[in-house]
């Protein structure tokens, strides 16, 4: 809209747009682990992130074929700060848990606190269902459970201790214990918590147990609401404060006349006319001394009678507590609740109270050994995005979401063939990442060729296959272990990007030397390496100079530029960058101005890659025919000629 009156009018027009770089190597690996959030795709930024969530790798738990995933994740994060990890569990795995309940009957003077356990809690929905009152006298307050499912968390236990400051009410120390390898229980986390949703600490931050555990604990979570979002019946009985002082408060201590007055309050909502009282009151003087009682009828709008028992027909109108210690001279505060029971009364034992009933489900056989059929199944489902997230109850299909979840390298971990097939399917479905697979654990060259020809028959440029399994020292178990070649590729690939560029070959002595190998299953000679090359197998080789990865072929049988892993990584990198860039031109005018803008920015981006030795040459042509304009589209033809790698050096000696 044009302006009419005189003046100076300005606009800021941004013409500085450009094709942004994208992260070079972001990894993805599912794995089996005893602890951590399960069936949830998690972004991990460092080794410490991994350790705090899942603990140290330990191949002795699940063995060579199923226990290497944590090592792959650990090695990758040693070189890169970007990994998506997914701890896999069976759908029927269960949360270890403890339920804190209020127990109250018509004859009780006040509620008591007991603990119970929910069986077969596999999902968040199961947890909320377990918080429904099972009968007329038991009222669940909250359910505390670990971040992940599995029997490992049966080693966790809790202890609540009341805060010593007499001026604070319903504030507790929560100590979280974990059983150590020597059988002792040690405190691993401690928090100051309250079951009152409005409780805060001296800084004003919430200390509500739901908020504290769900935001600050690495081990535990808390649920205190039902499916409809309402607080539990136990919360209403034990934790909810229905009212508190709002004006000047006075207390009549005299027996037969015991009452409390608040000159700005109306107590009518809290009175009980006859029978069992519904509400209790706690009055506190300026030194923290407490009087308690049950609320009967009001004497006037701002004054209510107080009784020493719940049954108003048999109780006397008097306070419970030390009248001689209580002082009416200073400020008096009060709280109206349905019960004044202390939560820590169920945790008075010298031993902490354990969580129970956690289960690995079908992942373990009855004798506690690994069910390899189920392990294979859930790992394959992890790569397919069909594991059930226990928090949402839906498929964890984020692994297929190319718009919001980006990873460029998917890793095998010595997994069975069915899992490897799932990995190949994933990368071909996403078409924005490569897969690094091993060819299985083969004890000889002949068995490796047989496995390639008959079992791992992959033939696409998204997958690369590596040999051989090798022995390394494992600092976590203190033993020598046999590992997949992917164990090394997990750190070689991101290290290659750190010391050079992603379009350089992650092979050879300059970028793929390995100094941790103690022994190879077999060391292929020159003739065997020729045969492995023809079968697109990338071996680790021991030369006199040491061990190194001696190949970077994809599994594509047809010879082309895309037979080389570095070229595929280059193309996928450019593809991702251009797809992201072009999204900003959707709904722009389909004319030469837009085409030229897109073309110039693409050329600028590709020129930088050429300068950095990724491309020998390139061309960009952006256009739209009349028909394309009618269909609201234009085309970018991008020709790339990648800089080839050196695979043979011919030395010609001329003697005169």
Using left for φ > 0, alpha for ψ between -120 and 50, and beta otherwise, residue 452 falls in alpha
In the predicted structure, residue 651 carries a pLDDT above the cut 80? yes
The Cα-based distances of 459 to 383, 453, 456, 553 in angstroms read 19, 11, 9, 11
Q: Is the pLDDT assigned to residue 323 strictly greater than 60? A: yes
Dist CA 303 CA 313 (whole Å): 20
Which residues have CB under 8 Å from 28's CB, separation 6+? 83, 84, 85, 86, 399, 407, 409, 410, 411, 433
CA neighbor of 548 nearest in space, from 485, 497, 465:
485
Which tens digit of pLDDT belongs to each residue from 221-254? 999 999 999 999 999 999 999 999 999 999 999 9
User: In this model, does residue 13 exceed pLDDT 70?
Assistant: no
Q: For residue 338, what are its two tokens?
A: 């349905």
H or E segment to which residue 573 belongs: helix 565-582
Pairing assessment for the beta strands 537-543 and 463-467 based on DSSP bridges? parallel
10 pLDDT more than 80 = no
Mean per-residue pLDDT, 579-599? 95
pLDDT at 166 over 90: no
User: 279 or 182: which carries more pLDDT confidence?
Assistant: 279
Residues 6+ apart with CB under 8 A from 341: 102, 110, 111, 112, 113, 238
- pLDDT classification of 165: cutoffs 50, 70, 90: confident
Instruction: Write down the pLDDT at residue 264.
Output: 94
Mean pLDDT, residues 475-485: 97
pTM over 0.75: yes
pLDDT of residue 2: 64
* 3 CA to centre of own chain: 54
Q: Which residues contact 130 (CB under 8 A, 6 or more apart)?
A: 97, 99, 118, 121, 140, 143
- Per-residue confidence band for 104, with pLDDT thresholds at 50, 70 and 90: confident
Q: Which domains does the chain have, with CATH numbers?
A: 27-90+372-566 (3.40.50.11780), 98-240+343-354 (no CATH), 243-337 (2.40.10), 591-656 (no CATH)
Q: Is 74 helix (H, G, I), strand (E, B) or coil?
A: helix
174-218: per-residue pLDDT in tens?
Answer: 999 999 888 889 999 999 999 999 999 889 999 999 999 999 999
Residues 267, 299: Cα–Cα separation, whole Å: 9
The confidence score (pLDDT) of residue 8 equals: 77
């Amino acid at each position: 809209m044009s302006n009419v009156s005189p003046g100076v009018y300005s606009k800021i027009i941004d013409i500085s747009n450009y094709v942004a770089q994208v992260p070079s190597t972001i990894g993805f690996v599912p794995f089996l682990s005893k602890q951590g959030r399960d069936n949830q795709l998690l972004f991990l930024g460092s080794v410490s992130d991994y350790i705090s969530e899942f603990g140290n790798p330990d191949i002795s738990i699940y063995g060579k074929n199923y226990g290497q995933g944590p090592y792959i994740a650990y090695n990758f994060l040693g070189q890169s700060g970007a990994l998506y990890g997914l701890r896999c569990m069976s759908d029927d795995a269960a949360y270890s848990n403890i339920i804190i309940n209020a127990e109250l009957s018509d004859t009780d003077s006040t509620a008591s606190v007991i603990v119970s356990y929910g069986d077969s809690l596999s999902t968040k929905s199961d947890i909320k269902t377990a918080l429904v009152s099972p009968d007329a006298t038991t009222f669940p307050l909250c359910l505390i459970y670990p971040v992940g499912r599995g029997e490992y968390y049966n080693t966790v236990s809790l202890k609540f201790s009341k805060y010593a400051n007499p001026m604070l009410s319903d504030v507790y120390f929560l100590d979280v214990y974990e059983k150590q390898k020597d059988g002792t229980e040690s405190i691993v986390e401690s928090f100051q918590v309250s079951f009152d949703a409005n409780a805060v600490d001296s800084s004003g931050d919430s200390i509500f147990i739901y908020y504290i555990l769900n935001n600050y604990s690495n081990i535990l979570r808390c649920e205190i609401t039902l499916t409809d979002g309402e607080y539990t019946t136990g919360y209403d009985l034990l934790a909810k404060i229905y009212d508190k002082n709002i004006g000047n408060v006075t207390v009549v201590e005299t027996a037969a006349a015991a009452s409390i007055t608040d000159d700005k309050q109306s107590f009518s909502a809290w009175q009980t006319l006859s029978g069992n009282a519904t509400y209790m009151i706690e009055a506190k003087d300026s030194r923290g001394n407490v009087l308690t009682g049950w609320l009967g009828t009001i004497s006037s709008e701002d004054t209510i009678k107080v009784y020493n028992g719940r049954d108003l027909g048999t109780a006397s109108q008097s306070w419970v507590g030390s009248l001689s210690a209580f002082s009416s001279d200073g400020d008096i505060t009060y709280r109206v609740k349905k019960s004044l029971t202390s939560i820590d009364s169920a945790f008075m034992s010298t031993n902490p109270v354990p969580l129970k009933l956690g289960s690995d489900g079908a992942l373990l056989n009855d004798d506690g050994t690994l069910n390899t059929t189920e392990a294979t199944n859930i790992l394959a489902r992890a790569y397919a995005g069909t594991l059930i997230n226990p928090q949402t109850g839906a498929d964890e299909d984020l692994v297929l979401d190319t718009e919001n979840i980006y990873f460029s390298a998917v890793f095998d971990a010595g997994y069975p063939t069915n899992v490897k097939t799932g990995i190949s399917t994933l990368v071909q479905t996403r078409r924005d990442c490569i897969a690094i697979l091993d060819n299985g654990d083969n004890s000889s060259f002949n068995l490796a060729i047989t496995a390639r020809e008959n079992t791992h028959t992959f033939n696409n440029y998204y997958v690369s296959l590596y040999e051989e399994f090798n022995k390394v020292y494992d600092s976590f178990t203190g033993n020598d272990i046999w590992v997949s070649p992917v164990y090394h590729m997990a750190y070689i690939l991101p290290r290659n990007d750190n010391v050079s560029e992603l379009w350089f070959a992650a092979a050879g002595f300059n970028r793929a030397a390995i100094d941790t190998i103690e022994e190879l299953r077999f060391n292929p000679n020159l003739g065997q390496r020729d045969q492995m090359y023809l079968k697109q197998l990338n071996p680790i080789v021991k030369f006199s100079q040491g061990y190194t990865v001696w190949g970077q072929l994809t599994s594509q049988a047809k010879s082309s530029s895309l037979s080389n892993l570095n070229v595929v990584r280059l193309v996928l990198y450019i593809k991702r960058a251009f797809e992201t860039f072009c999204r900003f031109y959707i709904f722009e005018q389909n004319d030469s101005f837009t085409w030229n803008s897109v073309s110039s920015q693409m050329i600028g981006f590709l020129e930088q890659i050429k300068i950095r030795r990724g491309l020998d040459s390139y061309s960009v042509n952006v256009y739209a025919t009349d028909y394309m304009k009618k269909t609201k589209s234009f085309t970018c033809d991008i020709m790339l000629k990648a800089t080839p790698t050196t695979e043979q050096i011919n030395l010609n000696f001329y003697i005169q």
